[in-house]
């Protein structure tokens, strides 16, 4: 800074250079990447995540289920997974990302003439679920077109984050214990790459089975060019433990699921009221409330907690 003290002209030139330097620094830090944005393509190996709460069948803590969602889960039977027609029902795309079988491959579809990205294609290991994220500004289809497990997705860049909006979803489960989202759901997913790490944050909006949007932030992958993607084919079952035409369910108030038994404790002795879920169980202040709640003391029988 000595030069700044030697005369006004010198101070002026030095000041201008400092402004230029600061402006360049600010530009370098704040300008979003050009049209190419961030490269999301590649093979992504999932890092461990928690996809089912405490793992106790029937536990719903932390999920903002509506009353309808609670009732739906209360009548759900694990035998539902053995219904012949649904043996090949996958975890839908948005749940597959959160689940254990989530090795992921993303690749771009590029328009040959413009060399712009028309879409990102995605493949997740769980039952070979695939998605297309349209990047060309096309509108979502009319409401009366077919709904699918992956839905219809469009993407837009928000800085270096790819923001994906998904509509036209089939009804599917959001945990493997009877928690469902309806076919009215819309999912917004934010994809962000940080070096060799990829993170997805999804916000599920469902006016039927959720009381508030459900935000999932546990999904993270590491780039692994050598990752093997195993095939995961499925053939419709014709004979299962559940006779064809039978719909397994429990009558209201008669579910034997351990999570719905107030006396049984999960591995964390989560209070029964917390296990019932609901919007309030998402928020930090609920932890304080939980401390005042009675804790179940009878250990859940083997097999009822993963």
Partner 1 sequence: MSSLRIAAVAGVLLAGLLGSSHVVFSQGPAAGRQAVWPPRIQGPAPGDLQVLPVRGNVHVIIGAGANITVQSGTDGILLVDTGTAAMSGKVLEAMKTISTRPLRYIVNTTEFEDHVGGNAAIADTGEIIPFREPNYTAGPQGALDITKASVIAYYTMFHRLAGPTGGTPKIPELGWPDNTFSIPQKRLYFNDEPVVVIHRPSNTDGNSIVLFRRSDVVSAGALLDLTGYPRIDTAAGGSIETLVDSLNGLIDVTVPARNAEGGTLVIPAHGRIADHAEVVYYRDMITIIRDRVAAMARKGMTLAQVKAARPTREYDKRYGSTTGTWTTEMFVDAVFRSLGKS
Q: Per CB under 8 A, which of residues 246..305 are in contact with partner 1?
A: 247, 249, 251-252
Phi (first) and psi of residue 79, to 5 degrees: -65, -15
Using the structure block, give the residue that is written with the tokens 């993407």. 155
Minimum distance from residue 242 beta carbon to partner 1 (Å): 12
Name the CA radius of gyration of the chain, rounded.
25
**Does 156 contact partner 1 by CB under 8 A?**
yes
Minimum distance from residue 107 beta carbon to partner 1 (Å): 16
**Does 205 contact partner 1 by CB under 8 A?**
yes
Minimum distance from residue 255 beta carbon to partner 1 (Å): 13
DSSP characters over 227-285? -----------S--SSPTT------TT----GGG-TTEE-TT---HHHHT--GGGGSTH
Q: Would you put residue 55 in left (φ > 0), alpha (ψ -120 to 50) or beta?
A: left
**Does 39 contact partner 1 by CB under 8 A?**
no
Query: Scanning residues 181 to 200, which ones bind partner 1 (CB under 8 A)?
Result: 182-184, 186, 188
**Does 7 contact partner 1 by CB under 8 A?**
no
**Does 85 contact partner 1 by CB under 8 A?**
yes
Phi (first) and psi of residue 186, to 5 degrees: -130, 135
Angstrom distance (rounded) from CA 10 to CA 166: 58
Contact window for partner 1 (CB under 8 A) among 41-49, 67-75, 220-228, 287-295 = 67-75
**Closer CB to partner 1, residue 15 or residue 78?**
15
Which sign, positive or negative, has the C-alpha torsion 199, 48, 185, 131? positive
Minimum distance from residue 58 beta carbon to partner 1 (Å): 15
**Does 158 contact partner 1 by CB under 8 A?**
yes
**Does 107 contact partner 1 by CB under 8 A?**
no
Among 30, 228, 239, 288, binds partner 1 (CB under 8 A): 30
**Closer CB to partner 1, residue 132 or residue 167?**
167
Q: How many helices (H) and strands (E) does the chain have?
A: 5, 13
């Amino acid at each position: 800074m000595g030069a700044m003290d030697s005369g006004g002209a010198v101070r002026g030139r030095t000041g201008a250079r400092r402004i230029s330097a600061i402006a360049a620094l600010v530009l370098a830090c704040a300008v979003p990447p050009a049209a190419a944005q961030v490269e999301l393509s590649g093979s992504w190996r999932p890092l461990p995540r928690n996809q089912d709460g405490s793992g106790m069948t029937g536990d719903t803590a932390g999920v903002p289920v509506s009353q309808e969602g609670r009732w739906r889960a209360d009548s759900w039977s694990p035998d539902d997974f053995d219904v012949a027609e649904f043996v090949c029902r996958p975890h839908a795309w948005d749940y597959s990302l959160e689940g254990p079988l989530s090795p992921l491959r993303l690749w771009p579809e590029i328009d040959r003439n413009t060399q712009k990205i028309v879409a990102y294609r995605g493949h997740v290991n769980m039952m070979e679920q695939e998605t297309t994220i349209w990047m060309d500004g096309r509108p979502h289809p009319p409401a009366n077109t077919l709904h699918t497990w992956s839905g219809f997705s469009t993407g837009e860049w928000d800085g270096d984050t790819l923001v994906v909006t998904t509509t036209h979803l089939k009804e599917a489960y959001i945990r493997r214990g009877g928690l469902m989202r309806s076919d009215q759901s819309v999912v917004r997913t934010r994809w962000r790459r940080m070096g060799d790490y990829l993170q997805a944050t999804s916000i599920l909006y469902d006016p039927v089975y959720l009381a508030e949007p459900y935000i999932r932030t546990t999904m993270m992958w590491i780039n692994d060019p050598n990752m093997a993607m195993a095939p995961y084919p499925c053939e419709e079952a014709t004979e299962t433990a559940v006779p064809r035409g039978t719909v397994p369910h429990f009558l209201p108030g008669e579910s034997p699921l351990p999570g719905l038994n107030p006396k049984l404790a999960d591995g964390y002795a989560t209070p029964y009221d917390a296990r019932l879920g609901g919007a309030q169980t998402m928020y930090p202040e609920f932890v304080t409330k939980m401390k005042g709640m009675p804790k179940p003391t009878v250990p859940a029988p083997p097999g009822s907690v993963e």
